[in-house]
Structure formats: structure tokens, C-alpha cells
Structure 1
Amino acid sequence: ICEELGADILRLWVAAADYTVDIPASGEIFDRLVEAYRRIRNTLRFLLGNLYDFDFSKDALDYSEMEELDRWVLSRLHGLTSRCTRAFENYQLHVVYHALHNFCSVDLSSLYLDTRKDCLYTFAADSKPRRSAQTALYHLLDTLLRLMAPVISHTAEEAWLALRGEGAEDSIHLQEWPTHTAEWEDKELEEVYERLLSLRDMVTKALEQKRVAKELGTSLEAEVVLCLPPAEMEAVKGREDLLPTLFIVSGVELESCEDNEPRVEIRRAAGEKCARCWNYRASVGADASHPHICDRCLPIVEGIFNKRG
């Protein structure tokens, strides 16, 4: 198994098994573990890849300065740390495996990282929102590696050395256990985002119906109209600018309704597609010198040209 799949897959099989019952082993089981391992490894690769221009000592923001979405994921990270700590203390390695895998595949890959791509890829390199996202990515990677080091030791060491940079001599296996995450816990924020994410699920379902009907291609072709009762409207109050990011659409319009259930309407976004951020905006083409980009991307592109002289 070590020669064909690697030692970390064998270690993952041991960790994933509940040793209180008979432990099965088969080709199918190892295939599933390989797939789970790839999801975890790909998450680490994404985190590392988006920290290429980030120096934690110079660019990191204080927690209080970070964007709300980034503070939310750090609160979720604290929950993961607490679950893994309790599981290790009780020798429940299968709980650690499932917690790490679910966090990487659900909380990160399917949600947080997906919504943060626009900021990471299209915002100005040294803008506060992007540095906030990168600060969160650094904390995520640093903490995840410490949590997974006892299980997939070789992968954790490889990623740790990549994070530390060329010439790094310290090892992940010589680091302290992450106990500082308690300061990131924010239950109230998690409750707010639970309501926001339930709206996101509704929007995602409605978008998928439009895609199946071939009325839309990507979600960025859409504009969402949300008709919300008072309780949900209170949750989105002050977060109107966050909703397009959270839903991965080009725009969101809010309307009040007296019904107890929110309603979602999907329509094609107005304007043209920005060649840089791929959002559909009415401002595309307004500047003759850059006719294919939107007003959000324009100052960023001009700033890049100005730096080049």
C-alpha cells in the first residue's frame, strides 16, 4: 500500500477506522480514501497558491480589521480545532478524519473559498479586502497543518515547508498545538451566517433550475431578486454588498414581503460581461480607453499600468 499509494494513505486508513469494531480493508475503501486525501491536498494547494504575494509579518490584518466573511470562517475554524482537540484527547482518530475532510470539502472548497475567488483574483493586490482574505487563508493553512500533522504527517510537513518558504528549517512536528483560536469564536456571527447560507441554498437551487432549462450558463449571468420577510431582512441589513459575493452572482435586489417564507426570482443580469472579473455590469464600455472592463476593475487596471510607467 505504501509503495502504490503512499504512507499518508495508509495512515489515513488507520485514522479513519473505528477501532472499537472490526476494521475493514478493500480496494474500494482505499479508493475512497485516496479521493478524500485529494480533496484535502487540493485545499492545501489552493491556500498556498493564493499566499504567493503575502508576507504575514507585513501584510496581515488584525482580527478586528478583517472582513466579516473572513471572521466567520475563522470562527468556524475554531469549532474545528475544538472538535479535533477533544477527539485526539479521547483517541477518536476517525472523528478527526471526518472533521478535517468535511471542513476542507464543505466549509472551504464548496463555500468560503468559492466565494472568495473574486476578491483574491480581481481586487487590487494590496487592497484591504484582499489582504483580509489572505490573512484568513494563512490562519486556515497554519491551523489545518497543525491539526492534521499527527495523521497525514508527510503531507503536512511538505505544505508547512512550502508555507515557510525556501530555506525553512523548522518542522510542523515541532510546532505548538493551536490553542489561540478561541479568540476567533463568534457564535452570534455564525447564527447570522446560518440564515444567510440558508438563503444561499435557495438561490443556488433556483440558479440550477435556470441552468437545467438552459436559460443561464454561469451564475454570474444572473441577477437575484430576494423577497424577504422581516426576520430575514434583518439578517441581511447592512450586508447588501456581501450578497452578490455570497451567491456568486452579478447583482442582488432586495424586496420586502409580508409572507413568512422568502422568495427568490432569477433574471438575466443587465449590462455586458467584464473581461476581467466576468461580472455583468452596465458600466462595461463606459470608458473608451478600456471598453471591455467594468468600473470596479478600471482603477485597478489603471493602477497596474501606472506602476509599470
Structure 2
Amino acid sequence: MARIVRIHEYGDASVLKLEDLDVPAPAADEVQIGVKAIGLNRAEVMFRNHAYLQEAEFPSRLGYEAAGVVVAMGSAVTGIRIGDAVGLIPPLDIARWGTYGELANVPAHLVVKSPDNLSFVEAAAAWMQYVTAWGALIEQAKLQQGDFVLVTAASSSVGLAAFQMARMVGATAIAITRTRAKKQALLDAGAAHVIVSDEEDVVERVMALTDGQGARVVFDPVGGPSFEPLTQSMARGGILLEYGALSPEPTPFPLFTVLAKSLTLKGYLYAEIVSDPQALSRAKAFILEGLESGALRPIIARTFALNDIQEAHRYLEANQQIGKVVITV
């Protein structure tokens, strides 16, 4: 028996139920983890609210990220031993391998031995943010020394990961935030510059910071009305990677700006990397190097106990945090 979080219906945080359940042995290609920490993601809030791309089959587990110790392995698993401290690259099914609980069966090919310098809390907070940022910035945009990258929703874990990756390759990250409440925290977290969009003209400020050239790369999960000034802030031949739709408002298509600047606008999903074995291998190598050297270090906003999973979800939904919310088990 293990304590497992499930939902029996869609709704607010109160639908998250901590239950004592039997957990089956792992399948041939799975590893069973004794969970020590769980990284929370907005996708899990959306899933719980019936606003996600995957439908639940009730009662449903949920959860993408975890770190812990290997306690059992399927018959086909190699390269991992019982007792190894590991982190999980989030699978593509939020429910089938749900990580909210004391035990989780997960795909063996997505389990990564954690570097010795990484705590369980940090390991649980690492892989979603770094794989997401790596796939967009390094794999697809080819971010490199001398580039400028605009990062919106900058206080999210993925936004903070983007700052760290930009520094790793010698690029300059410009964070865009709506109010000045988080400005200093974003600078402390690694942004080279912060633009407060409620107080400053984004286009004018970007052009001043880039000597009139604009940013070659934009990393945006928002869309909506801010999309147009983002394209106006870009360098000729630049690329904008859209990886979300946080704005409830329509997103205009800035046709003349796109034509005049020969811009590339690309929709991007984390799944593009996880479903491509070669890309995933490159991501693992880059991220592990960064974690081992300390160049990549997850920023933890707050931790909660497993018993407080409802409170943790409410805190995440309040959108006040800088960095990752983590459950300790």
C-alpha cells in the first residue's frame, strides 16, 4: 500500500484526494520509484480543471515530474540499479504514469541518474523546465554567443531555465514582466535585463538594449495582444517560438512585420523532444553537463508536504512564485 493522489472528478484543488492504494509491480520496460519529491506543473492544474489536452479516466492519477530512489525494475530494464537516486523526464501521459504519490511506475528510458550534487527536491524540479527550454532555444533556435533572447512569463520555471541556458551559451536574456513586483527577483535569477511592460514601451526598450538590431530569438508561452510588439522587437531573420496560450484574448497575426523582417514563427511543444530519441539524448547530455557543473540549478519557490497537495495547487494557481513549487514525500 502507498499513499497516492487521485481525482474522481474535475474541479478546484479540493478534488485532489490522498488515498491508500495498492501499486502494481512495474511493467517490463518500467521502473518503480520510491518518490522523495514531486515537481508541480501548470499542466496538472489544467488537467484537474478539465482545461488540458488530455481527458481523464476517473479515478485518475496525475503528475509529470518526480525524483526518488529505484525500488523495483521491469525485466527488460538495463543500466539502472535498485537504490539509484533518479529524476524523471516527464512522460507524454499525465495520468498513466502519474507521479503524485509515494510510489510511481514510470518509463525506464525517461529515468535519469541524478548527479551527486543534486538534491531530490532539485531533481524533481529539473527535467520539465530544462528539456522544454533546451528544445526551443538550443535545438531549434540554435541560440548562441552574442544572441539576444526575449523571455516572457519570465518568473515561471521554464522562463528561469531560459536565463540559465542563455548564459551557458553566451547569449543575453531579456525578461519581460507585467509589473515591477518581480523585477529584482528576475535579475537575481539571471536575467541580464528586465522590461516592465506596464511601465515601459517593450519595442523601444528592446531596440535600445540591442543597439537597434532587435532580438533574434523570442520564447513566449502567452500569445494574445503582446504577440505583435514581440514581433516588432525582433531582429531581421529572427525566430519566435510559441509554446503556450496563457492569454485568453485573440492573438493577432502581424503579417507586414513578419514579411518585412523575414521572421519564423513556430509552435513548439515539449513532446517534440521527448518523442525523438536522438533529440532526447542530446538534451540529456546538455542538461546533465549543466547540472553537474552548476550552470543549471533549479530555483525552488516553495516546498509543501504531500498531505498539503491541495494547498500547493492553490499556491501555484495564485501565480506569485518565482521558480518551482515542489512536494516533498
Q: How high is the TM-score relative to the length of structure 1?
A: 0.26
Q: Which has the higher strand share?
A: 2
Give me the TM-score of the superposition, normalised by structure 2: 0.25
Of structures 1 and 2, the larger Rg is shown by 1
Judging by fraction of residues, say which structure has more helix. 1
